[in-house]
């Protein structure tokens, strides 16, 4: 029988928390606690790890590979009863004895409640807005009739630094470890000594507000021999061995303290784990959080910040509450985490700490509509990470700087999409004149930067057929040998170029830069002609030609025959005529459809082909090899919306939601509140399984598709365009939208049950003749009533 995600938990009534009631979820279901500099990944039982600025080189606490299966180690709090000598852990794991369990993942916090032997515990984890620490506020209650003498053991295990070195040569990295217990501040401090050019200028620390009786820094002393997290010898004995001055050994941060509770009594305390450059600074932070009042204030501030960040912009209310919850809360939250951490650290990824250019651009693009200031900062950073030739750098790290090798070929496509979105949302056209340095010297205005990336892209279209050269890869990273010899061509890249050119043309036209607009138009028409001539395969578009001139995504191939992105991007680029459109829609709806949404292509590759790349080596249905790739699904929805396919767009949008009713949670496995990167595709025994959850561009695209496409509230250069593309069954819906400082309360009525078309539009009681609302710039609240039906004359 199909099992719903509700078997393991459900959303709170207001949708702001996901409450897990069964700790044995099919995978760890995690949360990101993060202020953008410090980040803590935490599972429903407290598993997970923390890092600072860069998850690749600045890991603080230990992480073990594939922790999506093991969920170990984590931030643990052991309790021991001094009379019975029994011990357990407050997060349920690792001792796994609790008789009651609940974990609420909220926006910026996670609360885990358990109970064992009449002792109730509640741990509230959060990362404050400014300080680089994990805070855990703890409440322990004695529910029994007798006084209880307990011991509390807060615990973490340190990694300190570069996870890959730690995995590859732990025998060496361990020798760099130093740690000790500092009596004055009652805290454990740990660090790694510098090694060749690998400097690690930080200290980790752990402290509690309880009086520390004993401690351990040495892993072995705390853990004992042949034991694991579920039965450390120190906890079993009720005392740590005061191992300090640890040199060149595995290190933990373990403390022990008395906790006596009268019958019915509740005690509160706190544990903090942090990273710092100076011990004095750490001591200040510790002093601040040792005052529980301060800590609670910080918790309230953190909660408030997240609630405002997520709820303080667009708010939608439609007949579909599942849609509302995703669009109002969880997709936005995921977009924030994408922006904070790129594609670095998850429970699946090892986590290189770099921000890749392609992903960052798309993350910032969606962020424009949540927090334009934040997006602007990213935009300017992206402009700087461009060479004067127009070529973007592959990416950068906040710890180690930019990387300088040759980037994938699609990177120059994305900046113009971001810039246009930013301008349309904010009207901040002044930014176009802002001078920004190039990474390799010199500077230019933002407008010039963008023109250069377009020019760079156009110059790549230099194959014999006139298509862009694929180079090391295009959007699809795993076609990594297709064009490696310098001859392979990407049709998809040509489509991406067309989309970028249309965006550039639109901007140049608006700025009355006739020459640029004209050049873009001309180039667009040329590319359109080329693609339609050389890449039309009879019923769909070919995806690419490899170095040997062999097509990928063609009827002449046995595997990888029909590629979704080549069809959806053809639509986004406006390439197919009516006949071709009909054919590709048929293939999208029939050949590529699964009950969970469209696959990236069909059929998957079954044998390694060095003329194509690693994609062919991946197990069928996994990752880029014909998975149900959420990013691709979001492109599909966006393409549907572009051509007004309301029903299909909505259907696919709902299929990709992790809460979709046809998902069996025992098959799907990953968190129901956010998108995984992909679902395993057909042909694989794990068909339908979610994988690589959390950091994925699909959240970016689905957010924009839902708000601007389906709900149809779309910023344009001149104002806010109202152009719904909704299920015809909807009677009405509401959107609250802040646009350029004005607040619009929009009610959209659909008396004739159409999918598209604005018949009447009334702003503050006055009928408008167009569905484009010019900004009033009065920073006031406005009422907008929209009636759908046959479009009014000046509808755009
Ligand atoms: C991953 C990458 C993204 C890429 C996609 C397809 O999601 O983060 O950048 O486009 O895979 O390869």
Angstrom CA distances, 184 to 207, 212, 287, stand at: 12, 11, 12
pLDDT, tens digit, 9 for 90 and up, residues 560-598: 999 999 999 999 999 999 999 999 999 999 999 999 999
Give the C-alpha separation, 252 to 262, whole Å. 31
| 358 pocket-lining for ligand 1 (C-beta < 6 Å) | yes
Which tokens sit at 109? 């916090």
Q: Which residue has a Cα nearest atom 7 of ligand 1? A: 696
Report the residue among 477, 614, 626, 700 best suited for mutation to probe ligand 1: largest number of ligand atoms under 8 A from its CB: 477
Buried/exposed code over 466-480 (b: 16+ C-beta within 10 A; e: otherwise): bbbbbbbbbbbbbbb
pLDDT, tens digit, 9 for 90 and up, residues 210-243: 999 999 999 999 999 999 999 999 999 999 999 9
Q: Which residue has the higher pLDDT, 274 or 196?
A: 274
What does the pLDDT read at residue 794? 62
Residue 33 burial by CB count (10 A; 0-12/13-18/19+): exposed, middle or buried? buried
Q: Which residue has the higher pLDDT, 378 or 195?
A: 378
pLDDT, tens digit, 9 for 90 and up, residues 766-775: 999 999 999 9
15 CA distance to ligand 1 middle (Å): 29
With 90 as the cut, is the pLDDT of residue 351 above it? no
Q: pLDDT grade, residue 599 (50/70/90)?
A: very high
* 478 CA closest ligand 1 atom index: 12
241 CA distance to ligand 1 middle (Å): 48
Report the residue among 492, 618, 697, 698 best suited for mutation to probe ligand 1: largest number of ligand atoms under 8 A from its CB: 697
What proportions of the chain, in percent to the nearest 5, are helix, strand and coil?
30, 25, 40
Give the C-alpha separation, 412 to 549, whole Å. 24
Give the C-alpha separation, 550 to 553, whole Å. 10
What does the pLDDT read at residue 621? 98
Q: pLDDT grade, residue 66 (50/70/90)?
A: confident
| 698 pocket-lining for ligand 1 (C-beta < 6 Å) | no
Q: Cβ(133)–Cβ(274) under 8 Å?
A: yes
Pairing of strands 38-43, 50-52: antiparallel
Could you give the 3-state DSSP secondary structure of residue 783? strand
* 692 CA closest ligand 1 atom index: 7
Could you give the 3-state DSSP secondary structure of residue 119? strand
What does the pLDDT read at residue 795? 65
Could you give the 3-state DSSP secondary structure of residue 195? strand
Which tokens sit at 782? 């406005």
pLDDT, tens digit, 9 for 90 and up, residues 142-166: 999 999 999 999 999 999 999 999 9
Long-range own/partner contacts, residues 683-688 (CB < 8 A, 24 or more apart):
683/603, 683/604, 683/620, 683/621, 683/626, 684/604, 684/619, 684/620, 684/621, 684/622, 686/621, 687/621, 688/596, 688/663, 688/664
pLDDT, tens digit, 9 for 90 and up, residues 100-114: 999 999 999 999 999
With 80 as the cut, is the pLDDT of residue 796 above it? no
| 444 pocket-lining for ligand 1 (C-beta < 6 Å) | no
Helices of type H across 312-445: 321-325, 331-341, 357-367, 372-384, 414-426
| 359 pocket-lining for ligand 1 (C-beta < 6 Å) | yes
pLDDT, tens digit, 9 for 90 and up, residues 305-321: 999 999 999 999 999 99
Could you tell me how many residues make up the chain? 796
Pairing of strands 435-437, 443-445: antiparallel
698 CA distance to ligand 1 middle (Å): 10
With 90 as the cut, is the pLDDT of residue 677 above it? yes
Which tokens sit at 293? 């009042």
What does the pLDDT read at residue 528? 98
What does the pLDDT read at residue 583? 98
Report the residue among 344, 475, 600 best suited for mutation to probe ligand 1: largest number of ligand atoms under 8 A from its CB: 475
333 CA distance to ligand 1 middle (Å): 20
Report the residue among 631, 633, 690, 702 best suited for mutation to probe ligand 1: largest number of ligand atoms under 8 A from its CB: 631
Q: What is the dihedral of CA 298, 304, 307, 312, to 10 degrees?
A: -140
| 693 pocket-lining for ligand 1 (C-beta < 6 Å) | no
Among 167-176, 373-382, 612-621, 680-689, which stretch is predicted with the lowest mean pLDDT? 167-176
Angstrom CA distances, 588 to 510, 567, 591, 629, stand at: 34, 8, 6, 14
pLDDT, tens digit, 9 for 90 and up, residues 710-763: 999 999 999 999 999 999 999 999 999 999 999 999 999 999 999 999 999 999
What does the pLDDT read at residue 450? 98
What does the pLDDT read at residue 551? 98
Q: Cβ(569)–Cβ(588) under 8 Å?
A: no
Looking at residues 342-368, what average pLDDT do you find?
Answer: 94
pLDDT, tens digit, 9 for 90 and up, residues 523-545: 999 999 999 999 999 999 999 99
What does the pLDDT read at residue 793? 57
Among 114-128, 197-211, 534-548, which stretch is predicted with the lowest mean pLDDT? 197-211
Angstrom CA distances, 318 to 234, 327, 730, 739, stand at: 55, 11, 8, 20
544 CA distance to ligand 1 middle (Å): 17
Give percent of the chain above pLDDT 70. Answer: 99
Give the C-alpha separation, 619 to 625, whole Å. 7
| 474 pocket-lining for ligand 1 (C-beta < 6 Å) | no
- Inter-helix orientation angle 630-642/646-656, to 10°: 160
Q: Which residue has a Cα nearest atom 6 of ligand 1? A: 476
Could you give the 3-state DSSP secondary structure of residue 12? coil
Average pLDDT of every residue of the chain = 97
């Amino acid at each position: 029988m199909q099992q719903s995600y509700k078997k393991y938990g459900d959303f709170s009534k207001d949708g702001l928390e996901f409450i897990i009631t069964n700790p044995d979820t099919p995978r760890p279901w995690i949360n990101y606690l993060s202020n953008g500099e410090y980040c803590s990944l935490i599972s429903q039982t407290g598993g997970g790890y923390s890092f600072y600025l860069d998850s690749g080189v600045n890991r603080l606490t230990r992480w073990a590979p594939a922790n999506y299966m093991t969920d170990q180690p984590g931030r643990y709090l052991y309790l021991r009863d001094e009379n019975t000598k029994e011990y357990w852990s407050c997060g349920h794991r690792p001792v796994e004895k609790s008789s009651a369990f609940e974990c609420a993942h909220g926006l910026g916090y996670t609360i885990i409640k358990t109970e064992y032997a009449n002792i109730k515990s509640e741990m509230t984890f959060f990362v404050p807005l400014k300080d680089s620490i994990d805070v855990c506020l703890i409440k322990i209650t004695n529910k029994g009739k007798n006084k209880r003498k307990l011991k509390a053991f807060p615990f973490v295990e340190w990694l300190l630094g570069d996870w890959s070195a730690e995995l590859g040569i732990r025998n060496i990295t361990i020798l760099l470890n130093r740690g000790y217990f500092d009596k004055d501040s009652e805290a454990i401090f740990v660090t790694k000594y510098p090694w060749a050019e690998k400097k690690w200028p930080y200290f980790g620390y752990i402290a509690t507000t309880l009086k520390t009786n004993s401690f351990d820094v040495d892993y072995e002393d705390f853990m004992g021999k042949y034991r694991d997290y579920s039965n450390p010898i120190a906890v079993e004995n009720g005392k740590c061995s005061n191992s300090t001055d640890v040199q060149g050994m595995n290190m933990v941060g373990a403390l022990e303290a008395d906790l006596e509770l009268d019958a019915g009594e509740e005690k509160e305390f706190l544990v903090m784990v942090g990273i710092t450059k100076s011990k004095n600074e750490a001591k200040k932070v510790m002093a601040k959080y040792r005052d529980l009042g301060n800590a609670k204030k910080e918790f309230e501030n953190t909660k408030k910040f997240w609630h405002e960040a997520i709820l303080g912009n667009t708010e939608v209310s439609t007949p579909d509450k599942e849609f509302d919850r995703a669009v109002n809360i969880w997709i936005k939250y995921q977009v924030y985490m994408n922006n904070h951490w790129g594609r670095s650290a998850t429970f699946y990824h090892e986590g290189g700490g770099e921000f890749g250019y392609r992903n960052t651009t798309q993350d910032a693009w969606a962020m424009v509509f949540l927090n334009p200031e934040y997006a602007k900062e990213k935009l300017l950073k992206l402009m700087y990470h461009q060479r004067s030739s127009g070529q973007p750098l592959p990416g950068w790290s906040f710890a180690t700087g930019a990387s300088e090798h040759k980037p994938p070929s699609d990177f120059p496509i994305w900046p113009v999409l971001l810039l246009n979105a930013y301008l349309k949302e904010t009207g901040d056209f002044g930014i176009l004149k802002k001078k920004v340095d190039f990474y390799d010297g010199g500077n230019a205005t933002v407008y010039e930067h963008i023109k250069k990336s377009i020019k760079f892209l156009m110059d790549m279209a230099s194959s014999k057929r006139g298509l862009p050269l694929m180079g090391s890869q295009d959007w699809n990273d795993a076609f990594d040998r297709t064009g490696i010899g310098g001859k392979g061509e990407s049709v998809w890249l040509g489509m991406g170029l067309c989309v970028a050119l249309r965006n550039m043309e639109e901007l140049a036209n608006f700025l009355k830069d006739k020459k640029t607009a004209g050049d873009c138009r001309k180039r667009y028409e040329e590319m359109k002609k080329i693609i339609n001539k050389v890449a039309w395969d009879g019923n769909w578009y070919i995806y690419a030609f490899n170095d040997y001139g062999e097509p990928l995504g063609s009827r002449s191939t046995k595997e990888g025959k029909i590629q979704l992105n080549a069809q959806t991007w053809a639509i986004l680029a406006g390439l197919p005529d009516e006949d071709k459109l009909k054919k590709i829609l048929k293939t999208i709806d029939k050949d590529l459809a699964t009950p969970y949404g469209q696959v990236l292509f069909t059929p998957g590759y079954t044998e390694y082909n060095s003329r194509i790349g690693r994609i062919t080596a991946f197990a069928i249905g996994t990752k880029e090899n014909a998975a149900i790739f959420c990013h691709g699904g979001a492109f599909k929805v966006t393409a549907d919306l572009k051509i007004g396919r309301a029903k299909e767009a909505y259907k696919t949008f709902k299929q990709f939601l992790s809460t979709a009713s046809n998902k069996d949670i025992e098959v799907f496995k990953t968190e129901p509140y956010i998108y995984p990167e992909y679902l395993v595709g057909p042909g694989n025994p794990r068909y339908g399984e979610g994988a690589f959850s959390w950091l994925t561009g699909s959240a970016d695209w689905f957010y924009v598709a839902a708000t601007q496409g389906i709900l149809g509230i779309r910023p344009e250069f001149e104002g806010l365009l109202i152009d719904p593309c909704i299920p015809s069954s909807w009677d009405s819906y509401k959107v609250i939208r802040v646009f350029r400082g004005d607040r619009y309360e929009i009610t959209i009525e659909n008396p004739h049950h159409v999918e598209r078309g604005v018949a009447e539009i009334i702003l503050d009681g006055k009928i408008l003749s167009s569905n484009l609302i010019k900004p009033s710039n009065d920073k006031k609240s406005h009422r907008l009533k929209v009636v759908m039906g046959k479009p009014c004359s000046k509808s755009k």
